[in-house]
Amino acid sequence: MSVNILKYNFSILHIDYVKLNNKWNYNNIISPYYRLYYIDAGVGSVSDNRGKLILESGYLYLIPSFTICNLNCEEYLSQFFIQFFEESPDGISLFSNNRNIMKLEADEIDVALIKKMLQNNPGRGINRSDNPKVYEKEAYYKEYRALNDKMKIHQKFENQGILFQLISKFLNSASFISNYPQITSSKILDTMSYVQLHLDENLTVVELAKRVNQNKDYFSKQFLLHTGERPLNYIHKKKIERAQYLIATTNKTFLEIAMDTGFANLPHFSKTFKQIVSLTPGEYRNQNTDLK
């Protein structure tokens, strides 16, 4: 797997150390950003449709963006957490094919890095509620992005460096490598980048095949072989990920978001959204804005 790591950028949203109890119990959370936990005491759990991971002392946990999960603590749990956005010029995530909750044992360096980052970024906790349905609102995203804009350049570099080091552990894990498709076709890579840069267009498999001078059937087979997904499924998945981000972070109407993501009409957008997210656009917005 060849990845140009320099094209990726990570911007901090929240970082804090918190002590949780049985009120930390939320289901079907889908966030447009990453969550990184280090547990130092107590027990909890995080689960998705693939199963449950126990949150236990001494371990790191990474929940990629747009990963549906349930968060639970029955009695007591204390954790360091970092929430951050991922950005890249082509919009292709490092974890685009690995939307799985990951768990790794932490070492002394990991813990020191997290504590250093917390020390360097005071006042970046949520400070409103531990319920994602409360704090995931556009106004709060803007608030913390404004703080990032005011950050000194050396702080930005240090935050980036720490996040790179922590994320690298997961990129080197067996679960990540085994799930990552070994894409060798330059035409497939080019197509993936093209899709990400043209999500606002009505992309078709015929047009994508024509771009790389292949017939539709051969192109579709090659795309499936190298990515594990059919081209149309991939297009829809990326469009809906963009839509999730827009729903969670803006006040745009669903029709505007449908147009921004290249759907011809609202019914088609809503149907595709429900198929992929298992929620309607309205339910997804309510999850991200309503108090529980």
pLDDT for the residue numbered 218: 94
66/283 Cα distance (integer angstroms): 15
Domains, the chain, ordered by start: 5-179 (2.60.120.10), 186-289 (1.10.10.60)
Average pLDDT, the chain: 84
pLDDT for the residue numbered 59: 97
User: What residues are paired with 86 via a beta bridge?
Assistant: 10
Q: How confident is the model at residue 183 (pLDDT cuts 50, 70, 90)?
A: low
Q: How confident is the model at residue 135 (pLDDT cuts 50, 70, 90)?
A: very low
274/53 Cα distance (integer angstroms): 26
Mean pLDDT in residue range 70-99: 83
6/3 Cα distance (integer angstroms): 9
Mean pLDDT in residue range 54-70: 91
Does 288 have pLDDT greater than 70?
Answer: no
Q: How confident is the model at residue 226 (pLDDT cuts 50, 70, 90)?
A: confident
Q: How many CA atoms lie within 13 A of 162 on its CB side?
A: 24
